[in-house]
Amino acid sequence: MPNDKERLAIYQFMKEIIKERSDLSKQYYDLKTELYQLNERENNGPVKLKSVLTILDHEKNKMQHYNSFDQVSRTIVSILKQLSVPLSKKQIIGKLINKNELSITLKNLTCTISIKNE
């Protein structure tokens, strides 16, 4: 009979160990889930904000990049009126970029603006 009491005590200790292990595993997985959620919030927050800012900056740069035809053509006309001699397209672009701070390429001037003015 003393073996039965000892055996019951061992079974009781084993049950307690299993319950404690189960509780520890649950706590571990809860903490792991919380850590994962914190990492997700940390990683997604700035990325979303960055992507929104990137889109806004892209649209802003896109709008600044384009010069209206009227603005460029009026500037070219005023440059040509100020000078008594005709200018080449490269000289016109140089004046547009240096003095008027307009971003335009020779190809754009040749294909778009000079064709519309003729």
Which tokens belong to 15? Answer: 């049950």
Q: What's the length of the chain? A: 118
| Total-model pTM | 0.40
For the chain, give every domain's residue range. Answer: 1-65, 69-117
Angle (CA) 65-70-72 rounded to 5° is 55
Interval 56-114: pLDDT, tens:
666 666 555 566 677 777 888 888 888 878 888 888 888 877 776 677 777 777 776 65
46-68 pLDDT, tens digit each: 545 556 667 666 666 655 556 66
- Torsion 9-15-20-21 (CA) sign: positive
Instruction: Please give the pLDDT value at position 45.
Output: 58
pLDDT at 92: 81
DSSP state of 63: H
**Structure confidence at residue 18 as a pLDDT band (50, 70, 90):** very high
